């Protein structure tokens, strides 16, 4: 039976869209289910097109059975001089069937052509804090909660449809040393005195909240050059602060300030929530929150989320202060392994941070692209 593509045009349909991967991956031990509440908070405003993005939410069905899903995304930042350069696609999930992949991606390509886009790229999200990049290496590794998961057939099916590499992300696994290296401690003190900078001292996690918007303004500055980066406005920042703040551990965050108390650098890690999210099965209540709280208090793995330094302080060793504090936090919390999360393969500055540590590159993921045929 051929598959039929339908536009998600009701709240009930959006709920189906969000929950269907639980059916697809029900026997997959590596899939880390996102929280349904987080998915709804991300997707619903964009599905309604209350924001600035144009979207197309699609489901593929055979008869009454869902066999795939995808979102097409056109955002203002992808327009240049009034012309749409790129349409993104994300949230692609499908059974291992070339017809389903073809139907979903062809539907997005036709929609993109109607918008006069030049190219389609994916998987990408609405912002750089959404999941992006299709796994092409490391299919046996447990993903973090901010990473896409896909079985090995996904890149095969996408490449069969003419998609090619746009850019890759690599991921590293770091073995935490038994103590903070003395050279790192000494370097941090030298940098601190030379540039009159300091690390923000906090007693409890709630004290970080007033710095949230300033943090996102600095993220805009430090990440603006990265592939597909979308600037965060205050509303977006508030959404992601709400989404991730409950996972924060004050000992795994470092904020560096100058002598005027202005933020110039940040490093953010959290205890690994992958197994807790697997046990939650998409539901925060009644038991999901318990698994998450337990993982935040006792864990031997952590994920490095974000790191950045203000432009004028780059190449001045500020990362020594960030790593000193966060590394000590790992040791104090009993963390043995750390996932880097995706790093652009072209981001040599970030990759250089790992050279003095025991690490292995164990995953790679890819953003694919396809030039559009204007006859579509």
Of 1-15, 68-82, 180-194, 317-331, give the lowest mean pLDDT range: 68-82
Residue 211, pLDDT score:
87
Local confidence band at 363 (pLDDT 50, 70, 90 cut-offs): very high
d(CA 90, CA 70): 6
Other CB atoms within 10 Å distance of the CB of residue 260: 7
Residue 52, pLDDT score:
58
Residue 140, pLDDT score:
95
d(CA 161, CA 322): 43
CB-count burial class (<10 Å; 0-12, 13-18, 19+) for 60: buried
Local confidence band at 62 (pLDDT 50, 70, 90 cut-offs): very high
Local confidence band at 231 (pLDDT 50, 70, 90 cut-offs): confident
Residue 134, pLDDT score:
98
Local confidence band at 227 (pLDDT 50, 70, 90 cut-offs): confident
- Residue of 357 and 6 predicted with greater confidence: 6
Other CB atoms within 10 Å distance of the CB of residue 29: 7
**Sequence ranges of the domains in the chain:** 4-169+366-371, 177-335
d(CA 261, CA 184): 23
Q: Are 206 and 248 in contact (CB under 8 A)?
A: no
Task: Show the CA angle centred on residue 294, arms to residues 290 and 300, nearest 5°.
Answer: 150
Tell me if 4-169+366-371 shares its fold with 177-335.
yes
> Six-digit token pair at 156?
């095969």
> What sign results for the dihedral spanned by CA atoms 123, 368, 268, 279?
positive
Averaged over 257-284, what is the pLDDT? Answer: 94
Instruction: Give backbone dihedrals phi and psi of 276, rounded to 5 degrees, phi first.
Output: -65, -40
- Residue of 207 and 67 predicted with greater confidence: 67
> Of the ranges 65-69, 182-186, 192-196, which is most confident?
65-69
Q: Give me the count of residues in the chain.
A: 376
Local confidence band at 212 (pLDDT 50, 70, 90 cut-offs): confident
Q: Is the pLDDT of residue 84 over 80?
A: no
Q: Is the pLDDT of residue 82 over 70?
A: no
Q: Is the pLDDT of residue 252 over 80?
A: yes
Residue 113, pLDDT score:
93
Residue 106, pLDDT score:
97
Q: Is the pLDDT of residue 226 over 80?
A: no
Q: Are 71 and 130 in contact (CB under 8 A)?
A: no
CATH topology assigned to domain 4-169+366-371: Aminopeptidase (3.40.630)
Local confidence band at 11 (pLDDT 50, 70, 90 cut-offs): very high
d(CA 173, CA 370): 31
Instruction: Give backbone dihedrals phi and psi of 234, rounded to 5 degrees, phi first.
Output: -65, -35
Task: Show the CA angle centred on residue 123, arms to residues 45 and 119, nearest 5°.
Answer: 95
d(CA 38, CA 240): 9
DSSP state of 342: -
Q: Is the pLDDT of residue 50 over 60?
A: no
- Residue of 229 and 6 predicted with greater confidence: 6
d(CA 143, CA 121): 22
88-137 pLDDT, tens digit per residue, is 999 999 999 999 999 999 999 999 999 989 999 999 999 888 999 999 99
Residue 206, pLDDT score:
83
Q: Are 104 and 94 in contact (CB under 8 A)?
A: yes
Of 194-203, 243-252, 281-290, 318-327, give the lowest mean pLDDT range: 243-252
CATH topology assigned to domain 177-335: Aminopeptidase (3.40.630)
Averaged over 2-8, what is the pLDDT? Answer: 94
Residue 34, pLDDT score:
95
Local confidence band at 182 (pLDDT 50, 70, 90 cut-offs): very high
Helix (H, G, I), strand (E, B) or coil at 250: helix
d(CA 267, CA 304): 8
Backbone torsion region of residue 306, taken as left when φ is above 0, otherwise alpha when ψ lies between -120 and 50, otherwise beta:
beta
Of 45-54, 67-76, 141-150, 255-264, give the lowest mean pLDDT range: 45-54
Task: Show the CA angle centred on residue 304, arms to residues 299 and 305, nearest 5°.
Answer: 120
Mind giving me the DSSP string for 260-292?
Answer: TS-EEEEEEEEE--HHHHHHHTT--TTTHHHHH
Instruction: Give backbone dihedrals phi and psi of 155, rounded to 5 degrees, phi first.
Output: -60, -30
Local confidence band at 78 (pLDDT 50, 70, 90 cut-offs): confident
> Six-digit token pair at 370?
């396809």
Q: Among 341, 247, 243, 280, which Cα is nearest to 45's?
A: 243
Mean pLDDT score of the chain: 90
Global pTM reads 0.89
d(CA 5, CA 59): 6
d(CA 131, CA 229): 13
Instruction: Give backbone dihedrals phi and psi of 230, rounded to 5 degrees, phi first.
Output: -120, 125
Local confidence band at 310 (pLDDT 50, 70, 90 cut-offs): very high
């Amino acid at each position: 039976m051929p598959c039929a593509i339908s536009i998600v045009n009701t709240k009930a349909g959006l709920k189906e869209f969000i929950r269907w991967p639980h059916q697809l991956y029900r026997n997959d031990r590596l899939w880390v289910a996102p929280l349904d509440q987080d998915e709804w908070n991300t997707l619903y405003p964009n599905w309604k097109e209350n924001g600035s993005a144009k979207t197309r939410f699609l489901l593929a069905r055979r008869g009454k059975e869902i066999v795939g899903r995808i979102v097409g995304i056109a955002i203002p930042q992808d327009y240049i001089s009034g012309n749409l350069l790129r349409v993104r696609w994300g949230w692609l999930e499908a059974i291992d069937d070339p017809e389903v992949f073809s139907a979903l991606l062809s539907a997005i390509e036709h929609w993109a052509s109607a918008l006069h886009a030049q190219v389609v790229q994916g998987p990408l999200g609405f912002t750089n804090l959404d999941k992006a990049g299709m796994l092409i290496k490391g299919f046996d590794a447990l993903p973090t909660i901010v990473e896409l998961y896909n079985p090995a057939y996904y890149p095969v099916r996408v490449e069969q449809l003419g998609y090619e590499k746009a850019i890759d992300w690599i991921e590293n696994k770091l073995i935490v040393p038994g103590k903070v290296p003395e050279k790192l401690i000494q370097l941090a003190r030298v940098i601190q005195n030379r540039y009159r900078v300091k690390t923000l001292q906090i007693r409890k996690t709630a004290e970080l909240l007033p710095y949230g918007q300033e943090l996102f303004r600095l993220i805009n500055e430090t990440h603006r050059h990265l592939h597909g980066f979308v600037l965060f406005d205050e509303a977006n920042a508030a959404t992601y602060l709400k989404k991730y703040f409950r996972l924060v551990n004050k000992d795994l965050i470092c904020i560096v300030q100058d002598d005027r108390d202005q933020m110039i650098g940040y490093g953010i890690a959290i205890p690994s929530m992958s197994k807790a999210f697997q046990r939650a099965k998409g539901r925060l209540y009644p038991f999901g929150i318990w698994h998450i709280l337990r993982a935040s208090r006792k864990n031997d793995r952590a994920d490095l989320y974000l790191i950045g330094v203000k432009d004028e302080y780059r190449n001045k060793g500020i990362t020594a202060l960030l790593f000193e504090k966060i590394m000590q936090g790992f040791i104090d919390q009993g963390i043995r392994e750390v996932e880097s999360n995706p790093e652009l393969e072209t981001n040599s500055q970030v990759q250089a941070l790992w050279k003095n540590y025991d690490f292995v590159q164990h995953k790679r993921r890819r953003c694919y692209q396809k030039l559009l045929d204007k006859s579509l």
